[in-house]
Structure 1
């Protein structure tokens, strides 16, 4: 977007209260997808600027065509391991111009670090962390983020912020290839029988004629390892739910084990394939995902990611939620986040839509439905985001 825009995922004046659902409405080409793209680009920069960006090129960005020489700035305020943080960075087509991380314990600002080009200042309240951050400063490239390097090298003071982007943010943009769709479905189903049963129940009630999902048994070379990781994940979740372990350390361990599980599953399907097919009512032969309707593929794409977000308390941003689906079915997906019984871990859904009917189905400004609605308008080539 050409001008700075702010999206709040909380409401309240006496104290911020997280809103489970944030809807962003706008007509076609209004710029609403740019909001979701900003989430994706910020997350990608934090996780991959060190390992994924070309070390001899400038930062990866997509500036507004009318403001190519203007820097791009990203800022996020979030809570990681019980502490509020503000993290941001400013980049142009050549370098990282500025980067900062502030903590806000008890509503007081504490500088963790502030970077201005090659100069890095470590806050006086984080003197003990200086020995973990200072040695990294000469190693960070001009076109990479210090938080990215610190997170990958496990600099303790910056781990909470880095891990928030790694494990607490999910983004869905565009359509998935058949291979991606099969991998995501297979991975979600294979984690536990409960996952498979819940997913199948929601699919059967979607009025798409789906009766069952068939998934190839895990490759024997990987099955035992996957089963061990699933058992470890279930044990950690049980201890967290019952308060028998340190929640910070357990959450870190849980994120690590889940990432290892996902990586192992991906390695398995690269060798053997996911082998997912769909059984429809009245049709004996199972259908391949490539042969499914647009509506079925749309639901199969978004549902596993949303259920994962509900299970882990993620912030999930979905562009064009409900494209190809009846508005009633899309509304049911939104209600999963609005209902405290299905959203017990405080997950937050951000979605864009051009369908005003979805916004008007009791999902508007009502406190009862716990949804905030924002509008994107375009004027003279510039998009503006504002609460509706």
Structure 2
């Protein structure tokens, strides 16, 4: 769950802006948060800031140039001011606040606070080269402290600790790696085919559900054809799919029956948290293996249209169809895992009715039983005015972005 997001000095967001994923003063995040604004108002800057924060956590150690400054995109009017990113989220049942500040040379500040039972607990605080570990995390001090000399001035401690599996910091790192996804920019046919193929090949249920939604969208698509898995990888993928299904089943049993969770712990020493982490690891491993298979022989995806004998390659599809094919597997994966999904221009190339039906997947408790969240931007006031919240439980938080006379963007709740 994402509760709030703050950003300062990123692209058009010069001054500090805060997006709260709740309605009014309520503490509980809503399933859907819509951000409305005119063209060039700063909507993309907001979504890009969330992606920038995620990318920094995952890649600052391995992906950033060790001899250059941190990767950032400050407002062009304030290139020397620091950029700051702060997220409030719930990971493995515990609320956290994580943030960092970057200038053109270094990570100038970084902090992670836990909030069990609404009480602040410092996990660590970094100020320049000084890193303090909170007194409540003394048991984890060695694991974190051993990493401190290894952290570059232009990289994040959370990034290194997550990759080195420092236990106290793993929940926060896993939230960024497994529970947050950002989708922006134009749809690329090859990337869409890859994601679609991975989703459909993972289970027959995925294929049936996705095809049903495609037919509902009235795109003329009646079937999906996908090549058999490469024999070199088929057995490994099949075994992984079996393990994923079994682990997911055990998690479901734990959630529905405390007695089953107690039995697993007593007989096998396995906790619900261990199962959840194992499921994430298995899914990541499957994605990596599928990517290797696709690199070797391609996705082999074709789409059957009503009244047309020859199947379509994905590059033959219309822009609207490609946009729908991009959104559906991403959304369905988010709903299945309870993930936070941020999408820029959700209705680009789609009608208001089509975009609204997709948003409803997150608002409906029957299709969103795991607490997934959708953050979307749109320049269509019509989509916002549909009042997508259809009950107290499924309300939508709505925000407005506008460009000020000084050339910066401001975010305000509606």
Q: Please confirm whether the aligned pair reaches a TM-score higher than 0.5, indicating the same fold.
A: yes
Q: Deviations over 1:256-298 (max 9, x none)?
A: 1110000000000000100111111111111111111111000
Q: Distance in 1 between matches of 2:303 and 2:272?
A: 39
Partner of 2:352: 327
* 2:116 is the counterpart of 1:91: no
* 2:141 is the counterpart of 1:114: no
2:22 to 1, 7, 10: 10
Q: Distance in 2 between matches of 1:177 and 1:257?
A: 27
1:161 to 156, 172, 179: 172
Where 2:146 maps in the other structure, the secondary structure is helix
Q: Distance in 1 between matches of 2:361 and 2:281?
A: 26
Partner of 2:143: 132
Equivalent residues in 2 for 1:1-388, closer than 5 Å = 1-11=13-23, 13=25, 16-243=27-254, 244-245=260-261, 246-363=271-388, 367=392, 369-380=394-405, 381-388=407-414
Where 2:153 maps in the other structure, the secondary structure is coil
Where 1:170 maps in the other structure, the secondary structure is strand
Kindly tell me: are residues 313 and 268 of structure 1, through their superposed partners in 2, closer, same or farther at Cα, counting changes over 3 Å? same
Answer yes or no: is the 8 Å Cα contact 1:364–1:373 preserved in 2. no
Q: Distance in 1 between matches of 2:128 and 2:338?
A: 35
Q: Distance in 1 between matches of 2:75 and 2:337?
A: 35
Partner of 2:8: none
Answer yes or no: is the 8 Å Cα contact 1:31–1:377 preserved in 2. yes
Which shows bigger deviation, 145-154 or 167-176? 167-176
Where 1:7 maps in the other structure, the secondary structure is strand
Answer yes or no: is the 8 Å Cα contact 2:23–2:395 preserved in 1. no
Where 1:47 maps in the other structure, the secondary structure is helix
Count of matched residue pairs: 387
Structure 1 runs, 4 residues or longer, greater than 6 Å off = none
Kindly state the Cα deviation for residue 11 of structure 1 after the two structures are TM-superposed: 3.6
Kindly state the Cα deviation for residue 366 of structure 1 after the two structures are TM-superposed: 6.8
Answer yes or no: is the 8 Å Cα contact 2:360–2:388 preserved in 1. no
Q: Deviations over 1:44-70 (max 9, x none)?
A: 000000011111111111000001011
TM-score (structure 2 length as normaliser): 0.92
Q: Deviations over 1:133-168 (max 9, x none)?
A: 001000000000000000000001100000000000
Where 2:18 maps in the other structure, the secondary structure is coil
Where 2:19 maps in the other structure, the secondary structure is coil
Q: Distance in 2 between matches of 1:284 and 1:273?
A: 23
Q: Distance in 1 between matches of 2:214 and 2:398?
A: 27
Kindly tell me: are residues 66 and 385 of structure 1, through their superposed partners in 2, closer, same or farther at Cα, counting changes over 3 Å? same
Kindly state the Cα deviation for residue 369 of structure 1 after the two structures are TM-superposed: 4.6
Q: Deviations over 1:20-60 (max 9, x none)?
A: 00000001000011111011000000000001111111111
Kindly state the Cα deviation for residue 12 of structure 1 after the two structures are TM-superposed: 5.9
Kindly state the Cα deviation for residue 340 of structure 1 after the two structures are TM-superposed: 0.3
Q: Distance in 1 between matches of 2:409 and 2:230?
A: 49
Q: Deviations over 1:285-329 (max 9, x none)?
A: 111111111110000011100000000000000000021111111
Answer yes or no: is the 8 Å Cα contact 2:387–2:396 preserved in 1. no
Q: Distance in 2 between matches of 1:84 and 1:373?
A: 23
Partner of 2:4: none
Where 2:399 maps in the other structure, the secondary structure is strand
